Structure 1
């Protein structure tokens, strides 16, 4: 496996194209599995993190890249991956995407049927479909572009993820991919989709994602990634949550707790994590009070013990208050998770070089790399990631300033082809990788 900091050319032997790449959750997963990837990301801050991490990147709009710069995508790419923005679908959002699910299903079918895309775009605009909701169509448009472009092969594997509300759309995707009809031109895929719980894949956090995996017919069957851990079962009634703990026989497979993840990270060489402030009598022992989604009502604020997985890590993780366990906690000043700690709860390496602004949002928007490793490994190899691969994924290789600048020159160039106003704010100074 090559290091991001030592690559000869960032696009050499790239196999995975990551649409809506963010700071690199799927790219980090691909790296530790030994696959090279390139991402497309419109947010300047996420791009700064990617450059600092040595991840090849186009600072571009996914739609514009497809329409006018498709020839810049390496011909070696055979895997299309991505997670379209989820704000309009998220339960935490206003739900415009959820209300438009049936409408979007029709647009998916219209795209495949061969209808003029300009008419489809016009209708999307006329019907007032949230532009972010419409982005869920982009992976399909990229697939059709590859099929219809001379000299390009259809993507061999497709991996998409989103919030659970999008699962009905993934079912439509899977149905059409299996059919090979219309603009698919007889190209057929084995395809399936599921809801996956992150804590069942070693992520110290409860988070559910809708995942679609498709493989060209003849490339192997598609099977649900095999869970490595037990689910975290929280039954909520009035008052405190009642937590169903695993039995002794399940101890090796139970979910990973916040304390276990943070302690393991703090024990690594040159660790960016220091849990000493959260220790009581030598043990990391704390609890988290969530203010996210409570609308300021204390009665709606959930709690999680350090011996349990974290709440879903969102861009608002700074709203969560952290207290050392003890009878006098009400007299304490609350603490907050650092960016590095929030990253570890997402299963990013402890020393991942978060850069640019809005770092909490970057962390919250990302695909948990550990989940990505399980999904990609299953989709590309038909197996779970090895124990050695998972062990290595806790530390990110150092990336030189020269490599970061070379990637920035490729990703942003003279900035003329970056998203409009994408460089209005002066680029934040890059943080050196620990």
Structure 2
């Protein structure tokens, strides 16, 4: 069994179950837990800090995506400002010192949560039941933390790989870049090799060469929107309500959307929307372009009909915070030495 720390609505878990693996996720957010339960995913509703490996003795592997808000460039940056302290605390964990008091010094308590996967991994080692694999994901700015974890895990016998992966290189119709760590107790840890071309601005015609498929456009995935590029990163939300198909930062991403629309590299949305949803598209130069819940979920490669629970805002929050299912599937499959099902890559294309 895999234990998923900070499991959210199931981005990692959907990828794992597609590979025939058993996962149990720990998640604090009630709406995300309700989504998980409705999807049939093993769920423990609670705080990761209140648990440890001894509470899940059947878990053989660990995955996790700690909250990204403190480290996101779209947030207040408290995690990034405290990065040196976080790195110092990794060394305290490595020497088995308590960091409880130090964690209370963070302005945003979520900052210290990035250290929880290392605590779990080391406690599992000390208990004589080390995890076979540890797989972690976070926003790009957390890569230095994963790189600090690497020598600590290597000292415990793991092979470790770290790096940034761009989601569209794995068939996800979205240019989402995230930092990953993969640690393997047996065999060489590797990050997955791309299956699709990386999107490059201004390059609209991509041939299937060197064994790589063309990236998947936003319009190919959801039937409307940009035809000459993938969607931008699905953000958690904006003050205007709901996420944009955009990179964190808002205005520049919206300019990209409108620029592509005005240039004719665009398909209008023809579908009907529910009465409680904002229109995905309305004609006019200055009208707002927004996604439906289902559109956002598809761009994150969740399966059609994934049973989102909670308010509309909470559903968007869950989707924006999740790791794309298909990207997670590639990472897990590579770590486990499992071939990616052909149906998964074909569906993405």
TM-score interval, smaller chain:
0.7 to 0.9
For 1:131, the equivalent position in structure 2 comes to 109
C-alpha deviation, 1:315, in angstroms: 1.7
Mapped pair 1:60 → 2:46: yes
Structure 1 pair 40/393, CA: closer, same or farther in 2 (3 Å)? farther
Mapped pair 1:171 → 2:139: no
SS of the aligned residue for 1:194 comes to strand
Instruction: Tell me if the contact between 1:225 and 1:384 (Cα under 8 Å) persists in the aligned partners.
Output: no
Structure 1 pair 144/195, CA: closer, same or farther in 2 (3 Å)? same
For 1:209, the equivalent position in structure 2 comes to 178
Distance 2:319 2:295 in 1: 10
Which residues in structure 2 correspond to 1:191-206 (within 5 Å)?
A: 191-206=160-175
SS of the aligned residue for 1:40 comes to strand
C-alpha deviation, 1:335, in angstroms: 4.9
C-alpha deviation, 1:39, in angstroms: 0.1
Instruction: Count how many residue pairs are aligned between Structure 1 and Structure 2.
Output: 312
SS of the aligned residue for 1:200 comes to helix
Deviations 1:168-207 (A, max 9, x none): 1111101111123xxxxxxx10001010000001000011
C-alpha deviation, 1:333, in angstroms: 5.1
SS of the aligned residue for 2:31 comes to helix
Which residues in structure 2 correspond to 1:15-414 (within 5 Å)?
A: 15-66=1-52, 70-73=53-56, 75-115=57-97, 117=98, 120-125=99-104, 127-149=105-127, 153-180=129-156, 188-216=157-185, 219-234=186-201, 243-248=202-207, 250=209, 253-263=213-223, 284=224, 286=225, 305-316=226-237, 318=242, 320=244, 329-330=283-284, 334-357=288-311, 358-381=314-337, 383-390=338-345
Structure 1 pair 34/325, CA: closer, same or farther in 2 (3 Å)? closer
Unaligned ranges ≥5, structure 1: 1-14, 181-187, 235-242, 264-283, 287-304, 395-434
Structure 1 pair 57/329, CA: closer, same or farther in 2 (3 Å)? same
TM-score w.r.t. the length of structure 2 is 0.83
Structure 1 pair 325/77, CA: closer, same or farther in 2 (3 Å)? closer
SS of the aligned residue for 1:253 comes to coil
C-alpha deviation, 1:331, in angstroms: 5.9
C-alpha deviation, 1:388, in angstroms: 3.0
Distance 2:29 2:37 in 1: 12
C-alpha deviation, 1:44, in angstroms: 0.2
Distance 2:286 2:82 in 1: 46
C-alpha deviation, 1:158, in angstroms: 0.4
Distance 1:341 1:164 in 2: 24
**Which structure is larger by alpha-carbon Rg, 1 or 2?**
1
TM-score w.r.t. the length of structure 1 is 0.67
Distance 1:167 1:319 in 2: 25
Instruction: Tell me if the contact between 1:32 and 1:393 (Cα under 8 Å) persists in the aligned partners.
Output: no
Distance 1:253 1:389 in 2: 13
Deviates more, 1:331-340 or 1:370-379: 331-340
Distance 2:38 2:305 in 1: 11
Deviates more, 1:333-342 or 1:103-112: 333-342
Instruction: Tell me if the contact between 2:4 and 2:64 (Cα under 8 Å) persists in the aligned partners.
Output: yes
Distance 1:138 1:252 in 2: 36
C-alpha deviation, 1:47, in angstroms: 0.3
C-alpha deviation, 1:332, in angstroms: 8.0
SS of the aligned residue for 1:17 comes to strand
Structure 1 pair 391/331, CA: closer, same or farther in 2 (3 Å)? closer
